[in-house]
Amino acid sequence: MRLFLPLVVTFVCGIVMILHFFIPHRPISTIGDGLTDWYMIVASAAIFLGAANLVQVHVHRINTKARNWQYSPVVLIGFLAMMAAGLVWGVEESLPFDYMFQTMVVPMGATMFSLLAFFVASAAFRAFRASNWRATLLLASAFIVMLGRVPIGGMIWKQIPVISEWMMQVPNMAGQRAVMIGAALGVVATSLRMIFGIERSYLGGAD
């Protein structure tokens, strides 16, 4: 029963949503719309599940004095401060929630994203080696695209941005499409396996 019910729900919902794409007639249309509404409700409820787990895990860490427990109060204080500010004063501009969002969340998020520049430089230095003719070809393409994406490329030679755009629109697109078609078929096969109950290991059951 523990596996049977989720498999039935998956099968029924999967078939209804496939039919919903092709058949605009009632009752398929209304059932399909109803299922999407239910999905949004369940997805909204899942936010509380995450918040509850976050609090539970970090309270447990503090109680048991687990390794690096000192970080847990920081998480809990941040979580409670943002939640309280939003609940008490609302989320409109110039209020405490918005202030914390603009002055703390925004710069911290941007800082994390900017780390990418350093990691790209480090990975490029280590991994981008002209070890054979294919890697050399890749290296040359990368140089042209990198120069073509910044104004200095056009200042070096006017044709660099043009060649760069061609590389993006022709060889890059061909490669992307090949992987995309393969992956899309993988999605179709995996979806069918799930709808027909052949794939069930994602439910925690035996595969």
Judged by CB under 8 A, the chain residues 134 through 193 that form the site for other proteins are 139, 142-143, 146-147, 149-155, 161-162, 165, 168-169, 172-173, 175-177, 179-183, 185-193
In the complex, least distance from residue 116 CB atom to other proteins, rounded to whole angstroms: 6
Between residues 84 and 190, which has the closer beta carbon with respect to other proteins?
190
Residues contacting residue 85 through CB under 8 Å, at least 6 positions apart: 95, 96, 97, 100
CA-CA distance, 135 to 144, in Å (whole number)?
14
Distances from the Cα of 88 to the Cα of 75, 83, 84, 114, 159, angstroms: 20, 9, 6, 33, 58
Residue found by looking up tokens 């060889």 in the block: 171
In the complex, least distance from residue 95 CB atom to other proteins, rounded to whole angstroms: 11
* Residue from 37, 73, 74, 80 binding other proteins (CB under 8 A): 37
Between residues 84 and 91, which has the closer beta carbon with respect to other proteins?
91
Between residues 128 and 137, which has the closer beta carbon with respect to other proteins?
128
84-143 residues in contact with other proteins (CB under 8 A) are 91-93, 98, 101, 105-110, 112-131, 139, 142-143
Distances from the Cα of 148 to the Cα of 55, 93, 134, angstroms: 48, 40, 21
In the complex, least distance from residue 134 CB atom to other proteins, rounded to whole angstroms: 13
Contact between 97 and 82 under an 8 Å Cβ cutoff? The reply is yes
> 197 is written with which tokens?
């109950």
Residue type, 173: M
Contact between 75 and 54 under an 8 Å Cβ cutoff? The reply is yes
| Pattern 50-69, other proteins, x by CB under 8 A | xx-xx--x--xx-----xx-
DSSP state of 168: I
> 65 is written with which tokens?
């004095």
**Total number of residues that touch other proteins (CB under 8 A):** 107
ω into residue 27 within 30 of 0, thus cis?
A: yes
* Residue from 1, 5, 22, 133 binding other proteins (CB under 8 A): 22
In the complex, least distance from residue 155 CB atom to other proteins, rounded to whole angstroms: 7
* Residue from 15, 36, 80, 99 binding other proteins (CB under 8 A): 36
In the complex, least distance from residue 86 CB atom to other proteins, rounded to whole angstroms: 11
